[in-house]
């Protein structure tokens, strides 16, 4: 299956791609400078491009959910999957360093889910996603949700082939997160401000938070939600439906 | 700490080029890291020695070419320093800076033997 990364069907995780044959290159060419100018993320970006092309061919709308740990990504997914079951066909790729607790929560909603444990890795990459989707029948799906590892730094640097990164920020984290972790909020196209049911108990400044987000990403879309009370969720659902229909045409 | 993975890629790419050119070792390599790339140069330097072990890069000198961020304002056209993702133009205050430099993450050259 994996022509581009060169790994066989059984060596999915711990493969090394450098099958060096060690020809004896004793040409004694001496000291010299090689100008190479190669992008360090080129391999990830190439695999992400393959994923994106496949998603495009299947008309699949793909989101990469990023946030710090505990902002509510899994909770938002659970509610979304339950509320939209019957209208939209979802699958979920769950990225976590350890355990499959989130995957079990998603499986309980009846939606196909596949867990990727990154171990020491602090983000998903395009190669993991390329293999993760082998577990789904992509033709049967409308939306693929990828829940990235809870981490506001590393996932920003890795394109997975998604249509959009969606950043989730909960109001208990403070309004300054967008300017403290600018790369992540810059990379996102949509910001979900979650747990707004808790606003009465906090001094979180919503307007300030939005201004900070626009400072690092002027055209970011922002929706305020609570997956606990359900407030604002219809805006998110409308955004999803729009994305699906755009992708199908 | 995605710098560990990044550093592994650096070694992998450099080693592939060095082998293709029949080199027996890499003496130095120059890596360009933009201020807006999301990669911390110090963390790459820290990881490099370990990642280079048992490769053609073992003992190689890592030269980091740090590229400062620059933006150009869509509203007034002025260029300015942009060392964080802050889109406010210092000249006209519009939130309209386009990043024109600082997202680089590239291996520029290798000195090989
Ligand atoms: N009050 C309130 N609590 C919420 C809301 N959304 C999530 N939570 C709670 O926040 C905690 C963390 O939620 P999760 O959905 O596990 O967060 P996560 O982002 O998936 O966490 P990681 O996968 O570990 O990064 C849980 O206790 C949720 O019940 C909300 O809208 N309001
Ligand atoms: Zn592979
Ligand atoms: Zn989760
Ligand atoms: Zn990391
Ligand atoms: Zn300006």
ipTM: 0.89
**Dihedral angle at the C-alpha atoms of A1, A23, B25, A39, nearest 10 degrees?**
-30
The yes-or-no verdict on residue B10 having pLDDT over 50 is yes
Percent above pLDDT 90 for chain A? 81
Q: Give me the mean pLDDT over the B8-21 stretch.
A: 96
Q: Give me the mean pLDDT over the B83-104 stretch.
A: 86
Instruction: Tell me whether residues A43 and B9 touch, CB distance under 8 A.
Output: yes
Q: Where residue A21 falls among pLDDT bands split at 50, 70, 90?
A: very low
The yes-or-no verdict on residue B34 having pLDDT over 70 is yes
Tell me which ligand sits closest to the C-alpha of residue A69: 1
Instruction: Tell me whether residues B87 and A33 touch, CB distance under 8 A.
Output: no
* A46 vs B94, more confident: A46
Interface test with A, best of B12, B87, B108 (most A CBs within 10 A): B87
Residue A14: the pLDDT is 40
Q: Give me the mean pLDDT over the A220-224 stretch.
A: 98
C-alpha distance from B27 to closest chain A C-alpha (Å): 9
Q: Give me the mean pLDDT over the A206-216 stretch.
A: 95
The yes-or-no verdict on residue A26 having pLDDT over 70 is no
Contacts of B31 in chain A (CB under 8 A): 40
* A5 vs A147, more confident: A147
C-alpha distance from B36 to closest chain A C-alpha (Å): 7
CB-hemisphere CA count at 13 Å for A172? 10
Whether A222 contacts A185, CB under 8 Å: no
Contacts of A214 in chain B (CB under 8 A): 87, 95
Contacts of B88 in chain A (CB under 8 A): 215
The yes-or-no verdict on residue A229 having pLDDT over 80 is yes
Residue A28: the pLDDT is 58
Residue A18: the pLDDT is 45
The yes-or-no verdict on residue A58 having pLDDT over 50 is yes
Q: Where residue A119 falls among pLDDT bands split at 50, 70, 90?
A: confident
Q: Compute the distance from residue B84 Cα to the ligand 5 centre, in Å.
A: 16
- Give the range among A59-68, A95-104, A131-140 with minimum mean pLDDT: A95-104
Whether A89 contacts A170, CB under 8 Å: no
Closest CA to B104 of B68, B75, B72, B71: B68
Nearest by CB to A34, from B1, B2, B109: name it.
Answer: B109
How open is the CA angle A5-B4-B33, to the nearest 5 degrees? 95
Q: Where residue B87 falls among pLDDT bands split at 50, 70, 90?
A: confident
Nearest by CB to B95, from A154, A186, A215: name it.
Answer: A215
Contacts of B95 in chain A (CB under 8 A): 214-215, 218
How open is the CA angle A20-A25-A31, to the nearest 5 degrees? 115
Nearest by CB to A39, from B36, B106, B113: name it.
Answer: B106
Residue A3: the pLDDT is 57
Residue A6: the pLDDT is 61
Q: Give me the mean pLDDT over the A191-217 stretch.
A: 96
Q: Give me the mean pLDDT over the B87-108 stretch.
A: 90
Q: What is the mean pLDDT of chain A?
A: 90
Q: Compute the distance from residue A215 Cα to the ligand 1 centre, in Å.
A: 26
The residue whose two tokens read 């108990």 is: A201
User: What is the residue-wise DSSP string for A182-222?
Assistant: HHHHHH-SEEEEE-GGGGGGS---HHHHHHHHHHH-TT-EE
- The whole model's pTM is what? 0.89
Measuring from each residue's beta carbon to the nearest atom of ligand 1, which residues come in under 6 Å?
A: A 67, 69-75, 102, 150, 194-195, 197-198, 226-228
């Amino acid at each position: 299956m994996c022509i581009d990364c060169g790994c066989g069907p059984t060596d999915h995780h711990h493969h090394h791609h450098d099958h060096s044959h060690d020809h004896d290159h004793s040409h004694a060419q001496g000291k010299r400078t090689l100008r190479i100018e190669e992008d360090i993320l080129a391999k990830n970006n190439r695999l992400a491009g393959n994923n994106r092309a496949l998603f495009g061919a299947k008309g699949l709308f793909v989101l990469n959910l990023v946030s710090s740990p505990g902002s509510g990504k899994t909770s938002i997914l659970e509610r979304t999957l339950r509320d939209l079951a019957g209208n939209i066909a979802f699958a979920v790729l769950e990225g976590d360093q350890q355990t499959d607790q989130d995957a079990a929560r998603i499986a309980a909603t009846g939606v196909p889910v596949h867990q990727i444990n990154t171990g020491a890795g602090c983000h998903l990459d395009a190669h993991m996603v390329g293999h993760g989707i082998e577990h789904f029948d992509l033709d049967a799906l409308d939306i693929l949700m990828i829940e990235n590892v809870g981490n506001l730094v590393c996932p920003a640097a890795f394109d997975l082939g998604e249509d959009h990164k969606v950043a989730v920020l909960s109001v208990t984290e403070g309004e300054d997160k967008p300017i403290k972790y600018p790369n992540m909020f810059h990379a996102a196209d949509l910001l979900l401000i979650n747990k707004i049911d808790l606003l009465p108990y906090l001094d979180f400044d919503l307007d300030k938070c939005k201004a900070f987000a626009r400072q690092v990403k002027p055209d970011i879309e922002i929706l305020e939600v609570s997956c606990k009370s359900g407030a604002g969720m219809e805006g998110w659902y409308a955004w999803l439906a729009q994305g699906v229909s755009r992708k199908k045409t | 700490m995605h710098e560990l993975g990044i550093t592994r890629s650096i070694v992998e790419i450099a080693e592939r080029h060095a082998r293709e050119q029949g080199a027996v070792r890499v003496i130095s390599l120059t890596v360009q890291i933009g201020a807006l790339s999301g990669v911390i140069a110090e963390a790459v330097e820290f990881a490099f020695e370990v990642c280079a072990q048992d490769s053609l890069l073992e003992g190689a000198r890592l030269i980091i070419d740090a590229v400062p961020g620059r933006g150009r304002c869509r509203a007034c056209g002025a260029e300015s320093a942009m060392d964080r993702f802050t889109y406010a133009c210092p000249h006209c205050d519009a939130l309209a800076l386009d990043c024109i430099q600082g997202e680089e993450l590239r291996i520029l050259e290798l000195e090989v033997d």
